Amino acid sequence: MPDPIILLPRRSFFAAAGKTALSAGAVLLLAGCGSRQAALAADPAADVNILNSALGAEQEAVAAYQVGAESGLLTKPALDLAVQFQGHHKEHADVLAKTVRDLGGQPAEPLARYDFPTDQLKSEADVLRFAAGLEKGAVSAYLGAVPLFQERELARAAASILGDEAMHWAVLRQALGENPVPGAFVS
Amino acid sequence: MTLPVILLLSASLAAAVPAGDPQRGTAVYERCQACHALDRNRTGPKHCGLIGRPAGTVPEFRGYSDALKTSGIVWDRASLDRFLADPLGTVPGTRMGYAGVKDPQERADLIAFLAAAGPCKE
């Protein structure tokens, strides 16, 4: 299936739509679910607040996976997963930052220093468990954010990210030898 | 408002918050761990020493909203119960973009867990 990012008429869409429409459209574009209904954002300031909360968590996840990748504790298959998942979080962060900017807000900056519990990471399992905890937290955070968006299409895009992070969590649990999908619902 | 009425209201408020189980609260707290930890600041502030602390005052945390810093809230079981039920409704403008923990028992368990965490280690 062709990539919708390439096929969407970005220039004409941007030219025809206002700033708010562009921002919502950008998220949809990158989430692969573009729609001109994105032009209907109701309260950009409220959405910027929520997007920046998510952006901060994504930036931390990128940094955390970097720590894991550089720890020397991950064997090749797990290392590949960590790098792949980090790439997803980078993509999420890029989309969120762009959307905040397009909504007229200031994207949250990554922290100069993250205080990770590196003294507790002594094995591959420790690193995977640490990552799984972050992913589970991220799933909960997006679940708590989705109903708050004023712009419903932003909620849909956030739900798309939620799905990706739930997959990360399940794969990490599988790698740890745990039930990858421990329940019918997430919370 | 007379003292007996105030006491009565306080008692009814206390009664409205169910008893919490810190063990169950451990599982509820996993939902917070995209942004928070007990012993270190992350996207959100650390939670050790939370009970009795005025909102927005972890000294080394820089990410507070003005709304939370000026809220006048002191974190106790009742104020946490209100905030956790609806963060943005309780403190409009807070950076905690989270719909809240809607189940009263889950909130009580979470608050019990946070209270059991005790003060921060220096």
Cα–Cα distance for residue pair A59/B35, rounded to 1 Å: 11
Q: Nearest CB to B32: which of A137, A146, A147?
A: A137
What is residue B47's three-state secondary structure?
coil
Decide if pLDDT at B17 tops 90: no
Does residue A9 form part of some domain? no
CB atoms within 10 A of CB A172: 25
What residues make up the domain containing A148?
Answer: 42-175
What pLDDT, in 10s, does the model give residues B106-116? 999 999 999 99
Number of domains, chain A: 1
pTM score, two decimals?
A: 0.81
Give the best residue of A47, A50, A67, A121 to mutate against chain B (max B CB count within 10 A). Answer: A50
Q: Rounded mean pLDDT of chain B? A: 90
Q: What is the sign, positive or negative, of the torsion defined by CA atoms of B59, A108, A105, B86? A: negative
Q: Do B34 and A114 touch (CB under 8 A)?
A: no
Decide if pLDDT at A33 tops 70: no
Q: Nearest CB to B97: which of A134, A136, A148?
A: A148
Does residue A65 form part of some domain? yes
Smallest Cα distance from B1 to chain A, Å: 37
Query: How far from chain centre, in Å, is Cα B44?
Result: 13
Residue A119, chain B, CB below 8 Å: the answer is no
Q: Do B95 and A49 touch (CB under 8 A)?
A: yes
Does residue A187 form part of some domain? no
Buried-exposed string B101-115: b where 16+ CB fall within 10 A, e elsewhere: beeeebbbbbbbbbb
Which sequence spans correspond to the domains of chain B?
Answer: 21-117
Cα–Cα distance for residue pair A105/B51, rounded to 1 Å: 33
Cα–Cα distance for residue pair A107/A124, rounded to 1 Å: 33
Q: How confident is the model at residue B5 (pLDDT cuts 50, 70, 90)?
A: low
Mean pLDDT over A80-91 rounds to: 98
Q: Do A137 and B35 touch (CB under 8 A)?
A: yes
pLDDT value of position B2: 56
Mean pLDDT over A130-153 rounds to: 95
Which residues from chain B sit within 8 angstroms of residue A187, using beta carbons? 31
The complex's ipTM works out to 0.81
Q: How confident is the model at residue B21 (pLDDT cuts 50, 70, 90)?
A: very high
Q: Do A115 and B100 touch (CB under 8 A)?
A: no
Q: What is the CATH number of domain B21-117?
A: 1.10.760.10
What is residue B93's three-state secondary structure?
coil
pLDDT value of position B3: 52
CATH number, domain with residue A108:
1.20.1260.10
Does residue A12 form part of some domain? no
Does residue A7 form part of some domain? no
Does residue A183 form part of some domain? no
Highest mean pLDDT among A27-36, A112-121, A169-178: A169-178
Q: What is the sign, positive or negative, of the torsion defined by CA atoms of A21, A26, A27, A32? A: positive
pLDDT value of position A44: 84
What would the DSSP string read from start to end of B53-85?
A: PBTT--TT-----HHHHTS--B--HHHHHHHHH
Mean pLDDT over B6-30 rounds to: 75
Which residues from chain B sit within 8 angstroms of residue A164, using beta carbons? none
What is residue B121's three-state secondary structure?
coil
Does residue A13 form part of some domain? no
What is residue B43's three-state secondary structure?
coil
Cα–Cα distance for residue pair B55/B35, rounded to 1 Å: 17
Smallest Cα distance from B6 to chain A, Å: 35
Mean pLDDT over B50-72 rounds to: 95
Q: In this structure, are residues A146 and A159 in contact, taking their beta carbons and an 8 Å threshold?
A: yes
Q: Nearest CB to B97: which of A54, A133, A187?
A: A54
